[in-house]
Amino acid sequence: MLEKGLVQIYTGDGKGKTTAAFGAALRAAGQGNKVLVYQFLKPATLDIGERFALQLGAVRIRVETLDMPWDMSGSLEDEKAVTKIQAAISDALKRITQTAEKRFYDVLILDEIVFCLSEGLAKFEDVKDLIDKRDSAVEIILTGRGATPELIELADLVTEMKNIKHPFDKGQQARRGIEY
């Protein structure tokens, strides 16, 4: 549906990256585009409001997860977990690249892939390959903290969510329906 797809990045330490990406998904789907949201680091067992909403089926946005065990507060230090997820992420990116070559979706959202890249869980070459090989009409949105200069170089649009204030700083727990 798009004439030309661009590459967007939502990064930074403030709230709003994933929710902005889902907003973009909603808008694109409402204008008749086929959308895939692929969630890295968010296993199927995680309680995720936006995923539940889309699984109700009223809006046609496909959500898939790299369904690997991952704990944000410990897995990065677990060598075995890291090695396992690196392989799974690389495979997932190759599969997503195939769908992008065929333009199976008009808009592809890779949630948390920027964080995966900044922590060495994903290979830059795999993401570059996806961007280079995709059908030229496919829009790609990458989210997550820590966008590197080489990734920014590849993108057409980069937004940084800057943390000014967040209730977590005062010890407030994540709220169901707002943070997840």
State the nearest-atom distance from the C-beta of 175 to ligand ATP, in Å. 9
Q: Which is nearer to Mg ion, 83 or 148 (CB)?
A: 148
Number of residues written out for the chain: 180
- 119 touches 45 (CB < 8 A): no
Q: Which of 11, 18, 33, 75 binds Mg ion (CB under 5 A)?
A: 18
Q: Which is nearer to ligand ATP, 21 or 97 (CB)?
A: 21
- Which tokens sit at 157? 């649009």
DSSP 159: E
| Residues binding ligand ATP (CB under 6 A) | 13-19, 145, 161, 163, 166, 168, 174, 179-180
Ramachandran sector of residue 169 (left: φ over 0; alpha: ψ -120 to 50; beta: rest): alpha
- Binding partner of residue 104 among Mg ion, ligand ATP, none, CB cut-off 5 to 8 Å per kind: none
State the nearest-atom distance from the C-beta of 128 to Mg ion, in Å. 22
Give the DSSP H or E segment for 148: none
